[in-house]
Chains A and B, each alone.
Chain A
Amino acid sequence: MKDMIKKLIQPFAVVFSHVLRRPHTIQYPYERLVIPSNYRGRHVLDMEKCVGCGVCARICPNNCITLVPVGGRRFKHPQIDYGRCSFCEMCVRYCPHDALSMIDFVELSATSREELIYPPQKLAEIPSVKEALPQLKKELTVEVTESGIRYIRRKV
C-alpha cells in the first residue's frame, strides 16, 4: 500500500519539476543553434585548387556530383545535386587537392528540384546566414552543467 501510494504520488513531483523549466524549443527562423565549425554543411569549392580530376564524382555514394565545363576555365568542375547529396563528406575526404570543403551552413531549402542543383560557380561562393535567414535574431549554444541543459542565447 505504501509502495503504491509512493508510485502514484512520485510522478507528480517529477512532472512538476519539469513544468517550471525553460522549454527546450528553438524557434528556428528566429533563433538558430550555433553550428560547430567542423560541421558538414554545404560544400565550398575552391576553383583555383580544383583540377577537375573527378575523384569526387567517383567516390560519391549517391552519384550526386557531375563534372561540368565552366566558361573561361581549363578544367571541368563539380556540380552538386543537393537533392541527392547525403552530406557524407566522401568527396571532401578524397579530394586530392583539398579543393572541396564543407562549411557550417545548412539553410539549403529550395522551392524546386532544379534549384537544388548547384553549379560550380554557386558552389564557389561562400554563403551568409544573414541573407538566408533574414528573420534570425538570436543564436544559441547548448551548455551542459551538472544540474541541467542550458541554452545560452546571444543576439546576432
Chain B
Amino acid sequence: MKEEVEKELVEAIKSKFPDVIEEAEVLRSKRISVTVKVDKILEVARFIRDELGFDYPISAGAVDYIKEKQFQVIYYLLSSKKKVVLMLRVNIPRDRPIAPSLTPVWSAMDFHERETWEMFGITFKGHPNLTRLLLPEDWEGGYPLRKDFKLSSKEGS
C-alpha cells in the first residue's frame, strides 16, 4: 500500500492545527478523513484550500447520529492536482444544529448546504441564501433525512 501523498497531507493538517483536529486519518488510497472542531472549521477550510490545494468542491452532506445525539456534517473535497478526496467532517450537537457555512471558502457548497439544511435542519451561519432547494416551498413535514422522521408504514418496512 502506497499512500504517501495521503499521509503527507494528513501530517500537514495535523501539524498545522494540532488542537483543532479531532481526528485525521487515511481511510484508504485517495481518501482522507479529517474531523474538525466546529469553531475553527473556516480556518482549517482555508488552509486546506490554499495550502493543500483542495480546490475542487464535490459535495456536502450530513449524517444523523441519533444515539450519540449529534450531527456530522461532511464536506467532500477533491484536490485537482493530487486527485485525493478529502472528507472534512464536523460534529455538531443535535439539539443546537448550527454550523458555520463554508460558502465563503468554496462557493459551490451553496446548493449542497441548502440541501443539508432542508433535509437535516442544520443551519449554516453565513450562507448567502439558505432557502429550500429540493423540497416544496411550503413543506411542513419536518426534516426528512433525520432518523426520527416518520415514514408511511409501507415505505418504512
Task: Find out whether A and B make contact in their complex, taking CB atoms under 8 A apart as touching.
Answer: yes
The dominant DSSP class at the B interface is helix
Interface bracket on B: under 10
Interfacial residues of chain B within 98-157, with CB under 8 A of chain A in the complex: 154-155, 157
Which residue on B lies nearest to A58, using beta carbons?
B157
Number of A-B contacts (CB under 8 A): 3
For B157, list chain A residues within 8 Å (CB): 63
C-alpha spacing A112/B98, complex, angstroms? 49
Within 8 A of B (CB), among A107-145: none
Question: CB-CB < 8 A to A63: which residues of B?
Answer: 154-155, 157
Once bound together, how far apart are the Cα atoms of A63 and B155, in whole Å? 8
Q: How far is the CB of B154 from chain A (nearest CB, A)?
A: 6
Instruction: Find the A residue at minimum CB distance from B157.
Output: A63
A63 to B151, CA, bound (A): 14
CA distance A63 to B154 in the complex (A): 8
Q: What is the CB-to-nearest-CB distance from B152 to chain A, in angstroms, rounded to a whole number?
A: 11
A residues within 8 A CB of B154?
A: 63
Residue of B nearest to A84 (CB): B154
0/1 string, B40-81, CB within 8 A of A gives 1 = 000000000000000000000000000000000000000000
Instruction: Name the distance in Å between B48's Cβ and chain A's nearest Cβ.
Output: 38
Measured CB to CB, the closest approach of chain A to B155, in angstroms, equals: 8
Q: Which residues of A contact B155 (CB under 8 A)?
A: 63
* Chain A positions near chain B (C-beta within 8 angstroms): 63
Interface residues of B (CB under 8 A from A): 154-155, 157
Q: What would be 3 A-B contacts, judged by CB atoms less than 8 Å apart? A: A63-B154, A63-B155, A63-B157
